[in-house]
Chain A
Amino acid sequence: MLLDVMQAGGGFILLEDSVQCSARGLLRCFIHAALKRGEDVHVLGFESPETQVCAGLDSSSVQRLHFHKGFPDPLGWTCRSSFTVERFTSQHITQLIKDTQHAQASVLVVDSLSMVLRHHDPVVFCQTLQELRKGGVIKTIIGLLHSDLHQQGIVGIVCHLADTVISVAPADNERLSVAKTTRRTKSGKVMQEEEYFSVSEDAALSVQAKPRQPGHVQRERDVSEADPTSNLTFNLRLSEDERKAKEKVALPFVFSQQKKSALLRPTPGSGRIVYEPDANDDVDEEDPDDDLDV
């Protein structure tokens, strides 16, 4: 599903990473895929330089990539950056995108959302994102969020706002990482998938499907194979003749068919006791208290 999300785009895609595994390589893959589709990409770079993003792109793609420099001065202290964190409001960004000529299907990439969240109120930030989504100028927003830099509540609300959430984590294999993709469609359907992926130097993404847990299946098979009637000092199995004889044994309280259906019919008063005297019972009609001399 990771490749589908990358090829299709649309909506708000959130890449969540942590200090153990960075998703910046994956972000580069997304940018390259959007440029290949012919879309205008605006990158707000607060945490990485332009050279890192533009490496490996041909000239026509570079023309459509608009890098707004924020690194290495995201707060504007030395006045060296063209876009500072305070300017992350919907008016500024919409103006920025409208300024580019014949902009069509713009993609906004924010590297990273954590830098913006630390300097803005979370409520205002989410409302800005919502305005950008519904504004109609931007088709896709891709944001990178470092989940270990914020409180759980804040990460929760940003994930709740996103249409697709991709969280990366390190896998046992050193070359690969695990990506867990959760995609929410407009109709309310939710799809989830976990995949192994690796990113090469030229921003090519290779994805492998994650195998199901092998240990779990093994345990279930073992349980069904254990035969309790083997390795015993006594015999628990039945031969054919023995089984036939067992089925022929007359069960106690087995009645004829008419009696059964008569009993099964709902009677007006439930709770009747029907007693059929057994072979060992001797029914004596006399009262045993008769021979008492009282």
Chain B
Amino acid sequence: MAAPVRGMIGSTSIGNTTSFQKKTRSKLVSIPGTRPSVQNGQLLVSSGVSSLDYVIGGGLAVGTLLLVEEDHYDSYSRMLLKYFLAEGVVCGHELFLASARDHPDDIMQELPSPIVDDVAGMKISEGQSQPSDPENPDTMKIAWRYQNQPKVQTALASSVRFGHYYDVSKTMEPELRQAAKCHSFYQLQETPVSKVRNVLRLGLHSLGSVLWGDDVCCKDNPAHCHALTTFLYILRGLLRTSLSVAMVTVPSHLTQNRAVMGRIIRLSDTAIALESFKGSEKETNPLYKDYHGLLHVRQLPRLNCLSCEVPDTKDLAFKLKRKQFTIERLHLPPDLSETVSRVSKTELAAGCGSTATGNKHLDF
């Protein structure tokens, strides 16, 4: 399959980043916080996490549905929802939040505060190649021709700044939060819903869980599966005819029937899954010690075009730092230790898709 050539003008050696910027056409609605995509001209909004924007092809297209499969204890998917809503507040979009478990006001009060200065923006250039000078004692003796090659770029970033950075340890100022219009729906009380004009960001927390009244999570043959899939279908239709973006989190680890999750993924546009290492045996794996979990991209949308923007690697891991939620490529560092044996190498390589069974390894 021939890969389409992208970004020939001004492309750097770092992955697929391009500094190509399309001239904005006057036909497109210019709403703050959105920009047209360079691939297919769709209007994109940021999801709040800039590395997630990179993974899903520049951002969330307006009118699409992002499905997030929750991790086991719902810590990181809840964080992603908060980033999504915080981005909406900062860009001045309208918000709609529906939640069954915690009151929406509790979630709104926990939104991270945006970082105003450009400190986080400078971190992008950390992984760039640095030519070492000849006087440096670290210059290589035998492989000196490789001195100036850039190191493996693990951080995913595009060269155009889109989206904001947030400080997780501080919550957003109440004045900033109240400046954005927010509607909410809580399962235990009734609230009316009004019409909106701006880009509307919908957040649905833990759809399909027991507290919404669905038995999708507890039975092998759920009776409410049809209702859930119909809802997602109609929601996507509503999103397409309006200027809205929706982010839905689903506790997929609780669903007993695999076919249900498959249907739910097909009914959404972009689907990612978070798998956190907490409580699983992967926590002690040395390959994963810097990260908090793995990110799997299940589906990317093809909106008005034939092919979709695919990240160049499927091994992605995330870690939640105070000022940034980073998603990085998982790569094996060079093996420089002298006492390493073949047995331990197969254990480390488990992250790249092959599973090691016991201590067997091929001997030539």
Query: Residues on A close to B: CB < 8 A?
Result: 121-123, 126-127, 130-131, 134, 151-154, 156-157, 160-161, 182, 184, 187-190, 192, 223-224, 226, 251, 257, 260-261, 263-264, 266
Contacts and interface: CB of A to CB of B under 8 A. Distances in A.
A188 B147 CA distance: 44
Given A160-B209, A187-B110, A192-B278, A122 B73 contact: no
A153 B256 contact: yes
B75 interface: yes
Contacts of B141: 251
A190 B278 contact: yes
B217 interface: yes
Contacts of B210: 122-123, 126-127, 157, 161
B79 A188 contact: yes
B256 A134 contact: no
Contacts of B142: 251
Kindly name the residue among A131, A160, A161 whose own CB sees the greatest number of chain B CB atoms within 10 A: A160
A264 B148 CA distance: 7
* A-B pairs, 3 with minimum CB distance: A188-B75, A126-B210, A153-B218
A190 B78 CA distance: 13
A189 B220 CA distance: 30
Q: Chain B interface: which size bin?
A: 35 or more
Contact of B213 (A123, A131, A257): A123
A223 B337 CA distance: 13
Given A156-B253, A160-B74, 14 more contacts: A122-B218, A123-B213, A134-B103, A153-B218, A153-B220, A154-B218, A156-B217, A157-B254, A184-B73, A223-B339, A260-B134, A263-B145, A264-B131, A264-B145
A151 B79 CA distance: 30
A189 B188 contact: no
Q: Is the interface of A mostly helix, strand, loop or mixed?
A: helix
Interface in B85-103: 100-101, 103
Interface of B: 73-76, 78-79, 100-101, 103, 110, 131, 134, 141-142, 144-145, 147-148, 188, 209-211, 213-215, 217-220, 251, 253-254, 256, 278-279, 339, 341
29 contacts: A122-B218, A123-B210, A123-B213, A123-B215, A123-B218, A127-B211, A127-B213, A130-B100, A131-B188, A151-B218, A153-B256, A156-B253, A156-B254, A157-B218, A160-B217, A161-B210, A161-B211, A182-B279, A187-B110, A188-B73, A188-B74, A188-B75, A189-B75, A190-B75, A192-B278, A192-B279, A223-B341, A226-B339, A266-B148
Interface of B is mostly: loop
B218 A160 contact: no
Contacts of B219: 153
Nearest to A152: B256
Contacts of A192: 278-279
Contacts of A122: 210, 215, 218
A189 B209 CA distance: 20
A187 to B, nearest CB: 7
B217 A157 contact: yes
